[in-house]
Amino acid sequence: MLQLAGEWVWDFWLADDGEDFHLFFLTAPKSLGDPDRRHFHASAGHAVSGDLRSWTRLPNALEPIPDSATDAAIWTGSVVRSDEGAWHLFYTGLAHRGTGFVQRICRATSDDLVRWRPDDEPILAPDPRWYDVLRGRDTTGEDCRDPWVFQDPQGDGWHMIYTARAAGPADVRDLGVVGHATSTDLVSWQAAPPLSPPGAGFEHLEVPQVEVVDGRPVLVFSCLGGRLAGPRRTPGAVGGVWTVSADAETGPFDLSRVHALTDERLYSGRLVRQRDGQWALLAFSTGGPDGTFVGAITDPVPVHWSADGVLRVDTDRLT
């Protein structure tokens, strides 16, 4: 488990260099007092481990940069290695714009996973042909965050999925979709239509990830009960980490078939392949017994496919 005495820890992503697992995580000082303030003071922390359980803290990977796309905070991302060997970190930049905040997807590169060189400008913004853009109704209307990048299964370039909201009427909550973009070189990105339709009952699909677990493509994402929409938005509805299988890593994803992998005690679930080849889930703990925010990343717990084709995990072991 990763838990820091003076800092909150929440959303995270991983990279495997063959010897160590590198954990990148959102972190903010507890001296802020109110844990809700952490979102607007977040940096990207960094730690390494050989077993996904005992972690050694390293210097932060990224910090907010004044007068930039990240002048408010760094939010969630992912890391991939190019065919040439360089590491590419894709992440969310939160910037002050007037009285509100704007989300953009940014990129940094590294030769060693420790020292990162951020690009001068963001690489992706919402394309209004398919995605919602700010229309004055709230300050965070453009859901353009949490990029997950992976190589095309046929080796034909790269894909990015991310948290997005479909273009639609201003009074409709049920617009959460799996955003999509493509690239041939990890540098220039082209927006593409979403890989899931709106109207699936989610205001947003946070920290999406797609993996092939024991031969089956699967999408994992997170959404709290208060952010459910449509028929899913019932009194006492509980969210958490969700999952749905698909025919391909690039979808399409039928969100009418989603299943809850965990409840709201855990969030930002990530699948990772352990050294023995077995897949496991890590997540961060959202609340303690007294209801206070914890902000700690769990040890890995194996996942498995059930007889009915649903990815399952023993949540009692996720502590």
**258-307 tens-digit pLDDT:** 999 999 999 999 999 999 999 999 999 998 667 788 899 999 999 999 99
By the 10 Å C-beta count (0-12 exposed, 13-18 middle, 19+ buried), 16 is classed as middle
Binned at pLDDT 50, 70 and 90, residue 156 comes out as confident
Tell me the CB-side half-sphere exposure of residue 145, using CA atoms within 13 A.
Answer: 26
Which residues, in sequence order, are CB contacts of 101 under 8 Å at separation 6+? 40, 72, 94, 95, 139, 140
Using the Cα atoms of residue 33, residue 34, residue 40 and residue 43 in order, give the sign of their dihedral: positive
CB atoms within 10 A of CB 107: 23
Q: How do residues 10-55 score in pLDDT, each as one tens digit?
A: 999 999 999 999 999 999 999 999 999 999 999 999 999 999 999 9
Q: What is the mean pLDDT of residues 113-123?
A: 97
What local confidence, expressed as pLDDT, does residue 99 receive?
Answer: 56
What local confidence, expressed as pLDDT, does residue 139 receive?
Answer: 44
Mean pLDDT of the chain: 93
SS3 percent helix, strand, coil of the chain, rounded to 5, is: 5, 50, 45
Query: Degrees (nearest 5) of the Cα angle 137, 143, 145?
Result: 150
Measured CA to CA, the distance from residue 288 to residue 151 in angstroms comes to 38
- CA of 281: how far to CAs of 54, 82, 85, 284, 315, in Å? 16, 25, 27, 10, 10
Tokens of 34: 């109110």
Measured CA to CA, the distance from residue 46 to residue 25 in angstroms comes to 6
Measured CA to CA, the distance from residue 113 to residue 193 in angstroms comes to 31
Measured CA to CA, the distance from residue 210 to residue 218 in angstroms comes to 6
For residues 301 and 16, the answer to whether their CB atoms sit within 8 Å is no
What local confidence, expressed as pLDDT, does residue 210 receive?
Answer: 98
For residues 171 and 141, the answer to whether their CB atoms sit within 8 Å is no
Place of tokens 């930049």: 93
Q: What is the mean pLDDT of residues 3-15?
A: 96
